[in-house]
Amino acid sequence: MTGIKKAVRTKARGSEFLRSGPWCELKHYLDRWHSYRQAANFIVCAAAAWPLLFQDFTITSLPSSTRISKPIVQSDLTAVAIVQHMEAFEKVKMPELMQDAEDLRRMGLDKAIQIQLLKRTFRPIVHAEVLIHHYLTKNGITRPNRF
């Protein structure tokens, strides 16, 4: 067993593992790498299954977001309030999203949001998936016939 694997196993046994900032951050990065690997595998499989999709296509590069200082000053922000301000989702999906937000509230998301908002160093950055969704929505590229 490697030293890293042994250290992770040892640390993972303690209950503080799930609450520890560095360990949570490590898990987040590992999960994202895993997602990238799955996406790459899917692209390879898709290229074999639908080769025409991979002929004569255009890649559009989107700029990364930049961190901004304290973009949210509202200290009573909740998951439900965030979902209510989301315009991009169809009205049909809104009840599902509201239920998800309520479920997450019961699991402590609102408290986690408040903790982040109170941090002086809170400077969020937008995930690439959100930037892509925004670009597609803004340019009307949301219908299946566009893909």
The per-residue pLDDT for range 26-45, each reduced to its tens digit, is 877 888 899 999 999 999 99
b/e sequence 53-64, b meaning 16+ C-beta within 10 Å: eeeeeeeeeeee
Cβ neighbours, 10 Å, residue 110: 19
- Rounded CA gap, 100 and 88, in Å? 17
pLDDT of residue 20: 64
Residue 138 tokens, joined: 């803004």
pLDDT of residue 91: 61
Residues in the chain, total? 147
Q: Are residues 106 and 88 in contact, defined by beta-carbon separation less than 8 angstroms? A: no
Rg (CA), the chain: 20
Q: Is residue 8 pLDDT above 70, yes or no?
A: no
pLDDT of residue 42: 95
Q: Are residues 52 and 46 in contact, defined by beta-carbon separation less than 8 angstroms? A: no
The residues spanned by each domain of the chain are 1-57, 59-147
pLDDT of residue 41: 96
Mean pLDDT on 99-103: 83
> Over the stretch 43-100, which tens digit does the pLDDT of each residue have?
999 999 999 988 988 888 877 777 766 666 666 777 777 777 665 555 656 777 788 8
The pTM is what?
0.44
Residue 82 tokens, joined: 């965030």
pLDDT of residue 70: 62
> Closest by alpha carbon to 82, among 67, 97, 92?
97
